[in-house]
Structure 1
């Protein structure tokens, strides 16, 4: 794990706001000591969760999206460490690993224009490099018997998450994705819109359920692909559930879980599905925050829920004094997941 920039005690102290009579998560979260080998420490620790950041937006840029998702990790941890350590959520259940060093790739990406065909190919290659790092780290965490919690970054990192989980488990795995889009676009080169396609075609992804698709953003090609693979791909739409009331939200949660639960599965949540949240493809219509939190709780409490990935949040796009709120939401979602897993 030489490409990890570890989170240090000094990092933690600098962002934890101590207050008399209170105990914050940041005062109990586990930091890997400097003299310890990361993989050995994770293996021997009793903490079940490992928190990883991927501060990049290269996959988003390669998919013609708005950059800014690189800022979500830093914003999130500032909120997370200042939540209360109490009976509902305990900091000593979390190993704060740090983040993947993507500085070289990010610097290179700033010189590239996605609208130029040849330069876009270079962006694809940068995403592939990050894929390798993500899948390696997730594999190590999973083989150690721990549950990764990943803060993106773009949704391109779903591929590395799924591949890493499959390699760690030694078999194909499943995924459920709370998203306005399928991210099952053609394999034209790696970007944030085709992570699940690559995971499926490379035989890491067995079953994939997309929760809450927006009907105006599903191409006919992808719909035809889904129709041709009924044992592998299933979905529902936001309009079916919330607009036309043809389906019930709670029932759909159960249907989605039934589809993926027989094998280890990853939980993916794209923040561009939630109205008003600053993201690479911000929306003004979709499931609200409460529904997103219920989604994570419902799937997280199953024993086969094997990682959580929250992506596409872009606090840097919010130029107001409230630009910390995207990170605060991600922190809520992380603690919802941890609480759901601790019910087992």
Structure 2
């Protein structure tokens, strides 16, 4: 679904993107939906950097769980700072995934902040020695911009972030309304790091939607496919870019490819092109890194954009609908007091 080319003191101040190095996990992209992506020359932006040496823990278990949208990922070689709500010296588990889930279980309250919003696990038996299996559950003052104690190849810890109700929400502010997106760092930690750094820029010139295709007759208003109807075109999505003019975009690694449901926000390839799905696309077979979900009531704005005037085009043999007038947007942050909605299903 890529766009055709040429279309038109322990705390350290370390860029948040370093937290979230990704893990190569996704299957081959669904061939019938691949489109060429635009690449824009730009100046270097030091925020978008990363460190190597990141690996996956419990890959088989993780892949099976992610098939149901249940992610629990973290970044290796990273130790997060924070107030400890459960000490690892007294709390040992078998995997980073179990540690992540323990933090999630302390973040299930419908109201109020999470007791635990970050976790730190020691899973390398050789490096950890007597600390092997320690799971530290912690609380960040601001989980969108967590504090780092240490990071790098020599760090034996793996860490991750968990967002509670009203936390981890960004918004795409358009002339047609605001689209709030709940980020999923447990599925795409590297993507969350990129978006955290994007918020720090305080501007997002160049971000816009350029493709819009409604559900048509193929999917109902809940996103379910209607029997015997063709699954596109139209494909039930809007597509845009998060490339900021004057900034350098470093391609993101593949992260969790959970099922693409109505309201899912996912990268096309390695970004910065992305899509918001209007339908449940089971036929795409977990082919896209999913990094967020649209707040349910804001899907009305997504639907409105999908109905805007378009022109027909063909990208790599795929019929598409391109907006006659691209929809520009600003990327801003929403805090808990500003957002009361639940994410769409």
* Short-chain TM bin: under 0.3
User: Considering only CA atoms, is the larger Rg found in Structure 1 or Structure 2?
Assistant: 2
Structure having the higher helix fraction is 1
Q: TM-score, normalised by structure 2?
A: 0.25
Q: TM-score, normalised by structure 1?
A: 0.25
